[in-house]
């Protein structure tokens, strides 16, 4: 690990001032991803600005939504009664991630900004366009079983590893930030960029910009869930995950919000499937059609081709479960 200085910010403005815009500093949350990346020499900041003492509040809004302080821990999020009752998919997604120890450390803001687990990204002897733009990508023809079937490019096929973000993009979460130009809000679904030719630029955040809170609109319905498919029964990253919230009235899908994890270069909102579902009968064939619609552009490689069918099946099974349809 390269030597660095450490400072703790007392408020967001101090954090912003301490971190500056020269790119040499990083915000430090729980450290569960950043410290690992620094030890692996993928990140080498000169200064760390600890933001874990900033807002950890989780508060209800008058409209029935929620505001979550960026420094709230993953555990606090999953434990919060309103989230367990109103947004079960979010609680489940958080609880499906990592281990209890890591969830106790990891912050919501840090979770949003965690970086990929691509094994070629982690290996300094391998070529990686994320680490070194233009170097090439050794995952394309390498071990790509964990990699993306959606949103990938010839420069990068690395998946976004978060479970929490999958639920948050399904829930239309909005990220609030503070930057040198002041406060702004960005829908989470727009925060992460597709890799295209520049996989090293992962989000729309500007230098020094700090995530201060996440805002959730009221849920469509309390009937929502998160299902994660993985190699181990626990403590493993998703091969495929599905966050889903479905409002079924009189046997018809009135509305649905869906997102996929483990399959895409960013937390993947399944707009096409939602569109295909709206107004349709809540039956397995229409769920299958929606899944097909979402994955029509999915592209598999040597080891991850299976994810296309797996994603469809998992999505259909989750929809059937929420709609109370027997499979």
Partner 1 sequence: MSALKDTAKSAMQTAVRLTPDKWLPGATSDPLMHKHGLLGAPVSRVDGALKVQGKARFAAEVAMEGLAYAGLVHSTIARGRIAAIDTGAAEAAPGVGLVMTYKNAPRMKAPALFGTSPSAAGASSLPIMQDASIHWNGQTVAVVLAETQEQADYAASLIEIRYEVEPAVTSFEMAKGRARRPESILGEPAELEIGDAKAGLAGAATVVDHIYRTPRYNHNAIELHAATIVWEGDQLIIHDASQLVNATASTVAGVFGLKDHQVRVISPYVGGGFGGKCLWDHQILGAAAAKLAGRPVRIVLSRESVFRLVGGRTTTEQRVALGANADGTLAALIHTGVAAMTTHNACPEQFTFPARHLYAAQNIHVAQEVADLDMLANTFMRAPGESVGTFALESAMDELAEALKIDPIELRRRIEPEKDPTSGTRFSSRNIVEAYARGAEHFGWSRRNPVPRSQRDGEWLIGMGCATATYPYYRFPGATARITLNADGQAIVAMASHEMGMGTATTQAQAAAERLALPLENVSFEYGDTALPPGTVAGGSSQTASIGAAVIAAFEELVPALLQLAGNDSPLAGLKASEVEARDGGLGKIDDPQSHESYASILSRAGRKEVVAEAKAPMPLEMQKYSMHSYAAQFCEVRVNAVTGEARVSRFLGSFDCGRILNSKTAASQFKGGIIMGLGLALTEETLFDERSGRIMNPSLAEYHVPVHLDVPAIDIIWTDIPDPHSPMGARGIGEIGITGVGAAVANAIYNATGKRIRELPITLDKLL
Partner 2 sequence: MDIIINGRTIEFSVDPRTSLLDLLRDHLGLTGSKKGCNQGACGACTVLVDGERINSCLALAVQYQGRKITTVEGLARNGDLHSLQRAFIEHDGFQCGYCTPGQLCSAVAMVDEWERGLPSVVTQELAAQGIALDRDEIRERMSGNLCRCGAYNGIVEAITATFENLP
By CB under 8 A, name the binding residues for partner 2.
Answer: 1, 3-6, 8, 28, 30-32, 35-36, 39, 48, 50, 52, 75, 78-79, 81, 84-85, 88, 91-92, 95-96, 98-102, 104-105, 228, 233-235
Quote the CA–CA distance of 184 and 178 in Å, as a whole number.
7
In order, the DSSP letters of 220-277 are S-S-EEEEEE-SSSSSS--SEEEEEEEEEETTEEEEEEEEEESSBSS-EE-HHHHHHH
Among 1-9, 65-73, 187-195, 264-272, which window interacts with partner 1 (CB under 8 A)? 1-9
* Phi, psi of 221, deg, nearest 5: -160, 160
- Whose CA is closest to 129, among 202, 197, 44? 197
Q: Do 38 and 44 form a contact (C-beta atoms < 8 A)? A: yes
Tell whether residue 201 is a contact of partner 1 (CB under 8 A).
Answer: no
- Whose CA is closest to 177, among 15, 8, 35? 15
CB of 229 to partner 1, least distance (A): 5
Which residue, 135 or 317, is less far from partner 1 as judged by CB?
317
Tell whether residue 104 is a contact of partner 1 (CB under 8 A).
Answer: no
Quote the CA–CA distance of 109 and 175 in Å, as a whole number.
9
Based on its alpha-carbon atoms, the radius of gyration of the chain, rounded to whole angstroms, reads 19
Residue 79 binds which one of partner 2, partner 1, none, with CB within 5 to 8 A depending on kind?
Answer: partner 2
- Whose CA is closest to 245, among 77, 97, 86? 86
Residue 229 binds which one of partner 2, partner 1, none, with CB within 5 to 8 A depending on kind?
Answer: partner 1
* Two structure tokens written together for 146: 């964990």
CA atoms within 13 A on the CB side of 214: 29
Which residue, 69 or 151, is less far from partner 2 as judged by CB?
69
Give the per-residue contact string, 140-159, with partner 1 (x = CB under 8 A; - = no).
Answer: -xxx-x--------------
Residue 110 binds which one of partner 1, partner 2, none, with CB within 5 to 8 A depending on kind?
Answer: none
Q: Please pick, from the candidates 231, 279, 285, 297, the single residue that binds partner 1 as defined by CB under 8 A.
A: 231
Tell whether residue 314 is a contact of partner 1 (CB under 8 A).
Answer: yes
CB of 185 to partner 1, least distance (A): 33
Q: Please pick, from the candidates 56, 122, 193, 203, the single residue that binds partner 1 as defined by CB under 8 A.
A: 122
Residue 6 binds which one of partner 1, partner 2, none, with CB within 5 to 8 A depending on kind?
Answer: partner 2
Quote the CA–CA distance of 286 and 213 in Å, as a whole number.
37
Residue 313 binds which one of partner 2, partner 1, none, with CB within 5 to 8 A depending on kind?
Answer: partner 1
Residue 303: helix, strand or coil by DSSP? coil
Which residue, 108 or 137, is less far from partner 2 as judged by CB?
108
Residue 201's CB is within 10 A of a number of other CB atoms, namely 13
Return residues touching partner 1 (CB under 8 A).
1-3, 39, 41, 117, 119-120, 122-126, 138, 141-143, 145, 229-237, 239-240, 306, 309-310, 313-314, 316-317, 327
């Amino acid at each position: 690990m390269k030597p660095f200085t450490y400072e703790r910010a007392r408020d967001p403005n101090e954090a912003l001032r301490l971190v500056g815009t020269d790119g040499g500093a990083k915000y430090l949350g729980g450290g569960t991803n950043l410290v690992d990346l620094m030890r692996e020499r993928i990140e080498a900041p000169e200064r760390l600005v600890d933001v874990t003492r900033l807002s950890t509040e989780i508060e209800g809004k008058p409209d029935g939504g929620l505001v979550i302080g960026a420094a709230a821990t993953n555990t606090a999020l999953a434990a919060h009664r309103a989230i367990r009752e109103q947004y079960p998919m979010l609680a489940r997604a958080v609880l499906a991630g990592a281990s209890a120890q890591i969830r106790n450390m990891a912050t919501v803001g840090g979770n949003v900004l965690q970086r990929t687990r691509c094994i070629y990204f982690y290996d300094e002897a391998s070529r990686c366009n994320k680490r070194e733009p233009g170097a090439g990508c050794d995952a394309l023809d390498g071990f790509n079983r964990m990699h993306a079937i959606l949103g990938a490019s010839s420069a990068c096929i690395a998946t976004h590893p978060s479970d929490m973000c999958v639920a948050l993009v399904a829930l239309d979460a909005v990220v609030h930030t503070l930057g040198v130009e002041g406060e702004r809000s960005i829908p989470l679904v727009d925060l992460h960029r597709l890799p295209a030719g520049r996989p090293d630029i992962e989000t729309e955040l500007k230098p020094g910009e700090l995530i201060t809170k996440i805002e959730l609109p009221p849920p469509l319905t309390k009937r929502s869930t998160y299902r994660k498919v993985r190699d181990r029964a626990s403590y493993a990253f998703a091969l495929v995950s599905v966050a889903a919230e479905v409002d079924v009235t009189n046997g018809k899908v009135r509305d649905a919000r869906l997102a996929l994890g483990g399959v895409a270069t960013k937390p993947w909102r399944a707009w096409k499937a939602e569109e295909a579902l709206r107004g349709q009968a809540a039956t397995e064939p229409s769920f299958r059609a929606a899944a097909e619609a979402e994955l029509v552009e999915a592209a598999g490689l040597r080891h991850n081709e299976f994810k296309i069918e797996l994603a469809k099946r998992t999505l259909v099974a989750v929809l059937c479960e929420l709609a109370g349809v027997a499979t």
